[in-house]
Amino acid sequence: MENLNEQEEQIKDPNQLDLFAGILLTPEQEKMIAEHIAWRKSLTVTKENLFIQIEKALLDAGFIKGVDFVNEFKIIETTKKVTVGNYNERFETEITFDDYCGEVKLKGIRFNGKTLENGVFYIDVQTDRNKPLKFQCTSIQDSYRYIKPSTLLEKLKEHNQRETYRFEDYTKRSNIKQYTVEKYKTKYPNATIEIKQDWSRYSGTFDIIHIEFPSGSYMQLYVPSEIDKEQTYKVYDAEFKKLNQEEVLDMFNKQAKKEGSN
């Protein structure tokens, strides 16, 4: 029994289909497999050289590895089923070959709507023989142009500054919003005070401070950009809405004369 197992190990080839499954590769098929493995290796070496060039270009432009970008490229040994051959000669087999994974990505920050978080940004590379590499990163650029690595670094810094400003502005407005809500809660303890949202075709969705009294009357305020600088957005008088036409006219008739009018 042991001799039979030893014979099996000697007969099996990792680049062949299982002999005992009734299929044996021909010399032509073995040649196709060898060519496929060599092609895969050549592709991997080409990619490795490209990522070496990319890293050098970024470093020369002032990027700091681990801070402004990461190079996660690595060569791995892979075993999987592939289809080799052409047209009617095509067949499937399992082979082991050199493959690769990972790439160069920019590192930066992004504002997620509430906090700042670390992020990575994919880049595209334009290669032209005998010309320096150019890069494109739509996540941080305002165009689809391919730019020099030094310009890419400027765009990355501008992006990080922009995201930091957005976070700081959000934090400031959140603090003012909370301060304003607490101010009116203290002043009108019987009122219901909450943050709501409205929409405008010009500014999109925006927050408002909704102050509603037990009568059903309410006032809505814009969230101010500075403390104690809030402005009125909408007013609803529930008592006024209950008046009929004659009662409204009588109320207007009793109002004091407008200052400055004849």
Q: Is residue 1 pLDDT above 50, yes or no?
A: no
Mean pLDDT calculated for residue range 231-246: 93
76 and 159, same domain (yes or no): yes
Confidence bin at 128 (pLDDT 50/70/90): confident
Host domain of residue 86: 2-163
152 and 211, same domain (yes or no): no
pLDDT tens readout for residues 174-222: 999 999 999 999 999 999 999 999 998 888 999 999 999 999 999 999 9
155 and 195, same domain (yes or no): no
Query: What are the two backbone dihedrals, phi and then psi, of residue 44, each rounded to the nearest 5 degrees?
Result: -65, -45
Q: Please count the structural domains in the chain.
A: 2
Name the burial class of residue 54, with classes exposed (0-12), middle (13-18) and buried (19+) by CB atoms within 10 angstroms of its CB: buried
207 and 159, same domain (yes or no): no
* Residue whose tokens read 């160069």: 104
Q: What percent of the chain has pLDDT over 70?
A: 90
Asked which of 6-20, 139-153, 188-202 is least confident by mean pLDDT, the reply is: 6-20
Mean pLDDT calculated for residue range 80-93: 86
Whole-number pLDDT of residue 65: 97
Instruction: Name the residue among 232, 179, 226 with its Cα closest to residue 210.
Output: 232
**The pair of three-digit structure tokens given for residue 13, joined into one six-digit string:** 């080839």
* Residue whose tokens read 């509603």: 212
User: How many CA atoms lie less than 13 Å away from 252 in the CB half-sphere?
Assistant: 7
Buried b (16+ CB within 10 A) or exposed e, 146-181: bbebeebbebbeebbeebeeebeeeeeeeebbeebb
Q: Is residue 105 pLDDT above 90, yes or no?
A: yes
- 79 found inside a domain: yes
150 and 200, same domain (yes or no): no
* Residue whose tokens read 């060569």: 75
Parallel, antiparallel or unpaired: strands 204-212 and 218-222? antiparallel
pLDDT tens readout for residues 40-72: 999 999 999 999 999 999 999 999 999 999 999
Distances (CA, A) of 224 to 92, 174, 177, 254: 67, 10, 7, 35
Q: What percent of the chain has pLDDT over 90?
A: 69
6 and 133, same domain (yes or no): yes
Q: Are 68 and 153 in contact (CB under 8 A)?
A: yes
Q: Are 74 and 101 in contact (CB under 8 A)?
A: yes
User: How many CA atoms lie less than 13 Å away from 104 in the CB half-sphere?
Assistant: 24
Instruction: Name the residue among 190, 196, 198 with its Cα closest to residue 216.
Output: 190
Q: Is residue 261 pLDDT above 80, yes or no?
A: no
- 23 found inside a domain: yes
- 34 found inside a domain: yes
Question: What's the chain's average pLDDT?
Answer: 88
- 27 found inside a domain: yes
Predicted TM-score (pTM) of the model is 0.73
Q: Is residue 23 pLDDT above 80, yes or no?
A: no
